Amino acid sequence: MSWNDKRPMSPHLQVYDLPMTARLSILHRGTGAVLYLGMVLMVAVLAAAAGGENAWSLMHRLLGSWFGYLVLLGFTFSLYYHFCNGIRHLVWDTGHGLEKSSLTRSGQMVLVASVILTLLTWAIAWMQGGA
């Protein structure tokens, strides 16, 4: 079989611009996966705490590194985004906010709230000596 070059190609992700609601839906699923992995990390932290001083010291060094902070920052954002977007979905379940303008506005509000809550959480932790 040979390819017929005269047939039009379907739009692909490099050409097609996904609507904001679609991008936020993908991000919601992605943050759910990150939260799952974060729970695995939480089990590892608890196991290290129960495993003795050497295991805890290793986990503390890992989470205290720049990479550990990056992972924890991503987990924090994921937690807040998933929470805020879940509230958005609950509002949708009541039949409200389903107009196109409302969808865009609520999506922007979810993103802004997630970033603000993440920064606020890290600022409070930093001021409490969590660094």
Taking residues 101-119, report their average pLDDT.
97
pLDDT in tens, 41-87: 999 999 999 999 999 999 999 999 999 999 999 999 999 999 999 99
Q: Count CB neighbours of 101 within 10 A.
A: 8
pLDDT surpasses 80 at 131:
no
Distances 5 to 2, 13, 107 between C-alpha atoms, Å: 9, 20, 40
CATH code for the structural domain at 20-127: 1.20.1300.10
Q: Compute the CA torsion angle 86, 88, 89, 92 (nearest 10 deg).
A: 160
What pTM does this model have? 0.85
pLDDT surpasses 80 at 16:
no
Q: In the prediction, which pLDDT does 129 show?
A: 82
Question: Is the model more confident about 9 or about 35?
Answer: 35
Q: Where are the domains of the chain?
A: 20-127
